[in-house]
Amino acid sequence: MVSYRLAAGGLVNRGNALSFTFDGKIYRGLQGDTLASALLANGELLVGRSFKYHRPRGIVTAGSAEPNALVTIGAGARSEPNTRATVAELYDGLAAASQNRWPSLAFDIGAVNSLLSPFLSAGFYYKTFMWPAAFWEKVYEPLIRRAAGLGRLVTEADPDRYEKAWAHCDLLVIGSGPAGLMAALAAGRAGARVILVDEGFRLGGSLLSDSAVVGGLKAADFAGQVLAELATLSNVTLMARTTVFGWYDDMVFGAVEKVQKHVAHPTPDLPVERLWRIVAKRAILAAGAEERPLVFGGNDRPGVMTAGAARTYLNRYGVAVGQRVAIFTNGGSGYGLARDLTDSGVEVTALIDARRESADIAPESVRLIRGGAVTSTRGTRALKSIIADRSGFEEEIACDALAMSGGWSPVVHLMCQRGARPVWSEERQAFLAPDVGAAFVAAGSAAGLDRLSACLRDGADKATVLARDLGFAAYETEIPDVAGDYDPAFAPLWYVPGSKGKAFVDFQNDVTVADLGLSQREAYSHVEMTKRYTTGGMATDQGKLGNVNTIGIVAGMRGVSPAEIGTTTFRPFYTPVSFGAMAGTARGEHSRPVRRSPLHGWAARNGAVFVEAGLWYRSSWFPREGEKTWREAVDREVRTVRASAGLCDVSTLGKIEIFGLGAAEFLNRVYSNAFLKLPVGKARYGLMLREDGIVYDDGTTSRLSENHYVLTTTTAYATDVMAHLEFAAQALWPHLDVRFASSSDQWAQMSIAGPKARIILQRVVEDDLSDAAFPFLSAREVMLKGGLAARLFRISFSGELAYELAVPAGYGEAVADAIMEAGYEEGICAYGVEALNVLRIEKGHVTHNELDGRTTADDVGLGRMMAMQKPDFIGKHLSTRFGLTAADRLQMVGLKPVEADAEIKAGAHLLKENAKPSMVNDQGFVSSACYSPTLNSFIALAMLKSGRERYGEKIVVWDALRGSEVLAEVCPPVFVDPDNKNLHV
């Protein structure tokens, strides 16, 4: 095998050979290589297949705009599809595989598409595959999907770590080429906090590829000198391997840093990638310019690449891209390359300049063809020759590489992400960065400058202005002399007339000049429509390479300036960002925080099964030995509570302390029912509405002292209600003297319910708990035996004699243990939220199953809680709208199956007997259902049209989704103790 690695030169470490594989074959590269340069050094031209036609493709660029050389790197859970070989840093043991080919890269069956291409023109799929209709899902689409995509997604979890961080600076410099380095230097010397980022693994940008002499040093050495000084400045942070992918509001830049993507075995001590949010006071975009391919027949043959890429492989990696290199150019770039190649001893077979004249001088040994053009190329899986045309005379020129240069497009992507559009420059024949204000400016070739010396100066000057603007004393930076650079100026050439064969503008998506023409003929003429119809610019490079050519060609077809065509919209991400980096640490079990009740440990010790409830884990039921199903445990818990007593953890309820002279008035306004006259030491059930008259949340509020209340919310609405109350107090009634503090996490709260609750509780409480001394709805501080102050509320969700006891969170488990011990003789049990739910359904108490954001107080039988005599409360004024008071609204009822063992499930709908299922006949739905061990039957709460008028009616509980129909009787929604006798014992 021929080695294309030159004997000397380049920034690769020849003392450190690295072994890697591509499609299973073992190769050698050098430290400092990219995968692409290493493949080229080994003479591997064919690296990928295009998307649509599966055409053989080679490396086109030496950077992040690469459309062709996409490979999968790594194996198993670490395999990474669609990785650009041109930016993949080589490491020992790297394993890469080609994509989108079958059975192999060299022999790909999909390439037959290329033969069918006359039938596969832009948008062909919109015009066929319509008959018969059912064939789309069965035949056509599976075929299309088989061809879809490039690399393969792994289905295993990622073994590596990622993290996120914020950074702050005075000046962010994006790009470490000549302009970026000088900018960082000027601002850094002035004392500004500078962050210099570059996507490359070695800082220096284009200086690393340049053969010019800067300040008497080789360009790369000059970069090294500047970087050495920057490294001594504590106010300057250098970040290689870091891509700024997005510019967001308020000068926040998104960036991703590859921390360990270049090592075979990442250490778990570090993330593999880090997502940065960089907050910059000022920023300079010094991202350079992208070289445009030329558009001619067969411009996609492996071996054809941009001149700049060929130059980079030569000067930076010491790799000749061919043994006989032809160059096709419309500007100075081709000449610069020709000189570098000949200086390195690589044969340049021809330098074809599309311009008839120019001041550029070709090396003497190189055959220069002025006013010529390449109209087609030959070779199957690698370039063999080109056909050059000069004034109608065709000539075949043998070569194994063709370097092309169609001019330069400044990389203005980031500056156009927030709505501004790039501006066409007739003079530069390029889209230049828009003016986005003084805080973010482009410098160097990103600003449209071409000569190296101008870029160096521009970077320094612009940074100086920005640093001074921020108050730093910045001095003139001395700009070194430059020798041996070239003038990259060019004349426009969008498309080579007389091209034979397909001329590609978008390599990856196989969009050709003919496709562009078709889109124009078919009236998809706006540039966005052209893009969408042809898919040009929609590949993984997002049109970095092809879009400007597309615009130029369409402009030519329409006889207008590219300015009139305009660009498509620039959006994040400048280059694709891994989902892993975006997710950071929030993944899997750690995707969201976990909240545990202060009684979690107690519940666990009592054998609780926990269930996720929002962020909480709540104790769901407490199975005992011998209980085979969850139902057995729940039934026992319910029976125990009804017969004796149980203890349930209710700490997750929201608890809000309310203070102030205006607290009573405030509560009176946020609750629909009256609160002004709630006595000290009493609790009251309260209903909170939204301003639209619909029920928002419910809970009890207790007046602990004259101006101190504690309000409880449901678990699910704790945070929302807190914000709602804060809004009311701050934005609606700021003159009310009221303050809040959430104490949800400060209290362990337990419900002790059942006929034996008092007896048991009295054993741990000093205060008298007799019905006379502590009647229903009492709420006050009590002293526990042993001297712990606690809050005790005589309230009941279960319908039994019940108390809620709140103790400081840290005492929760000890107190719960003490109560369980105190109630041992009575057979007290721990019960979970499942039993709690059964108890409340039996009692007809509502939860958010019923209060689903569409129900009024009256709907759930709480119409009496609308204190309409109050002048104002949230939700009062819109609650009387016709639609909210209509007679056929859904009202809460109870349901009992006619056959007691028939099961009713929540989510079933209701139908009149013998009625056909239809939306019009829909009578309502089952909101909550359970097996009631008290009634030995399934029971349910349901929302039924005009329900309260229909007690006694038989109705079909229709659950077609789960294949059941049950006949049930409509009844009042309170199944147990309708007269509330148990509450007052």
CB of 575 to another protein, least distance (A): 8
Return all residues near 265 (Cβ < 8 A) that are at least 6 apart: none
Q: Which of 427-435, 569-577, 786-794, 818-826 is the region at the interface with another protein (rule: CB under 8 A)?
A: 569-577
- Which range binds another protein by CB under 8 A, 787-795, 806-814, 918-926, 973-981? 918-926
Q: What angle do CA 199, 457, 280 make, to 5 degrees?
A: 45
Rounded Cα gap, residues 758 and 444, in angstroms:
82
| Residue 663: count of CB within 10 angstroms of its CB | 25
Residue 134 in tokens: 């059912």
Is 155 a residue that touches another protein (CB under 8 A)? Answer: yes
State in angstroms the smallest separation of the CB of 490 from another protein: 29
What is the closest distance, in whole angstroms, from the C-beta atom of residue 683 to another protein in the complex? 26
> Quick check: 103 binds another protein (CB under 8 A)?
no
Tokens of 651: 């700490």
Closer CB to another protein, 140 or 776, in the complex: 140
Residue in 356, 521, 558, 954 binding another protein, rule: CB under 8 A:
521
723 binds another protein (CB under 8 A): yes
User: Is residue 591 a contact partner of residue 585, using CB atoms and an 8 Å limit?
Assistant: no
221 binds another protein (CB under 8 A): no
Nearer to another protein, 191 or 517 (CB): 517
Stretch 23-52 residues interacting with another protein (CB under 8 A): 51
Answer yes or no whether residue 918 interacts with another protein by CB under 8 A: yes
How would DSSP label each residue in 253-271?
Answer: EEEEEESSTT-SS--TTS-
Element (DSSP H or E) covering residue 312: helix 307-315
Where does this chain touch another protein (CB under 8 A) — which range of 402-410, 481-489, 536-544, 890-898? Answer: 536-544
Kind plus residue range of the DSSP H or E element containing 353: strand 347-353
Q: Which of 281, 639, 763, 905 binds another protein (CB under 8 A)?
A: 905
* Residue 887 contacts another protein per CB under 8 A: no
Which DSSP state fits 209? G
Which two three-digit tokens encode residue 240?
């290689």
Cβ atoms of 345 and 326 within 8 Å: the answer is no
Place of tokens 């590859």: 258
The runs of H, that is alpha helices, within 210-303 are 219-232
Out of 29, 151, 302, 480, which residue is the one contacting another protein (CB under 8 A)? 151
Q: How far is the CB of 975 from another protein (least distance, A)?
A: 19
Ranges assigned E (strand) in 734-778: 739-742, 747-753
The verdict on 532 binding another protein (CB under 8 A) reads: yes
Contact region with another protein (CB under 8 A), list: 142-150, 394-402, 747-755, 806-814 = 142-150
As given in the structure block, the two tokens for residue 48 are 């990928």
Interaction between residue 590 and another protein (CB under 8 A): yes
Span of 117-125, 320-328, 394-402, 463-471 interacting with another protein by CB under 8 A: 117-125
**# residues near another protein by CB under 8 A:** 139
- One symbol per residue from 162 to 201: x for binding another protein (CB under 8 A), - otherwise; what is it? x-x-x-----------------------------------
830-869 binders of another protein (CB under 8 A)? 849, 852-854
Residue 888 engages another protein in binding (rule: CB under 8 A): no
Residue selected from 313, 671, 675, 958 as contacting another protein according to rule CB under 8 A: 958
Map the footprint of another protein across residues 401-440, applying CB under 8 A: 417-419
692 binds another protein (CB under 8 A): yes
Pick from 573, 579, 519, 567: which is nearest to 154 by CA? 579
Quick check: 433 and 422 in contact, CB under 8 A?
yes
Sole binder of another protein in the list 959, 966, 970, 982 (CB under 8 A): 959
Token pair listed for 173: 């410099």
| Residue 216, helix vs strand vs coil | coil
Residue 947 near another protein by CB under 8 A:
no
Interaction pattern, residues 267-296, with another protein; x per rule: CB under 8 A: --------x-x-x-----------------
Q: Would you count residue 115 as binding another protein (CB under 8 A)?
A: no
Query: Of the candidates 95, 244, 908, 968, which one interacts with another protein according to CB under 8 A?
Result: 908
- CA angle (674, 680, 683) in 5-degree steps: 60
Contact between 906 and 926 under an 8 Å Cβ cutoff? The reply is yes
The reply on whether position 248 binds another protein by CB under 8 A is yes
Q: Does 913 sit near another protein (CB under 8 A)? A: no
Closest to another protein by CB, 508 or 700? 508
Which residue has 């042809």 as its token pair?
534
- Selected from 8, 119, 234, 887, the binder of another protein by CB under 8 A is 119
Residue 126 touches another protein, criterion: CB under 8 A? yes
Verify binding: residue 595, another protein, rule CB under 8 A: no
Helix (H) or strand (E) holding 243: strand 242-248
443-472 residues near another protein, rule: CB under 8 A? none
The answer to whether 133 contacts another protein (rule: CB under 8 A) is yes
Residue 675 binds another protein (CB under 8 A):
no
Question: Distances from the Cα of 163 to the Cαs of 243, 263, 268, 536, 792, in angstroms?
Answer: 15, 18, 12, 34, 45
578 touches another protein (CB under 8 A): yes
CA–CA gap between residue 704 and residue 712 (Å, rounded): 13
Phi, psi of 879 (to 5 degrees): -75, -15
Q: Return d(Cα 642, Cα 572) in angstroms, integer.
A: 61
Q: What's the token pair of residue 637?
A: 């818990």
Q: What is the DSSP string of 716-746?
A: TTHHHHHHHHHHIIIII-TTS--EEEE-TTT
> Does residue 545 belong to the site contacting another protein (CB under 8 A)?
no
Q: What mask of x and - would describe binding to another protein in positions 727 to 766, judged by CB under 8 A? A: x--xxxxxx-------------------------------
Rule CB under 8 A: say whether 149 interacts with another protein: yes
CB of 569 to another protein, least distance (A): 8
Q: Which of 1, 2, 25, 250 binds another protein (CB under 8 A)?
A: 250
Buried b (16+ CB within 10 A) or exposed e, 254-290: bbbbbbbbeeeebeeeebbbbbbebebbbbbbbbbbb
> What part of residues 962-981 is at the interface with another protein (CB under 8 A)?
962
Question: Which residue's CB is nearer to another protein, number 158 or number 343?
Answer: 158
Per-position DSSP letters for 625-643, written without gaps between them: TT--SHHHHHHHHHHHHHH
Establish if 690 lies at the interface with another protein (CB under 8 A). yes
Q: Angle of helix 630-643 relative to helix 833-843, nearest 10 degrees?
A: 60
CB of 157 to another protein, least distance (A): 4
Burial environment of residue 629 by CB neighbours within 10 A (0 to 12, 13 to 18, 19 or more) = exposed
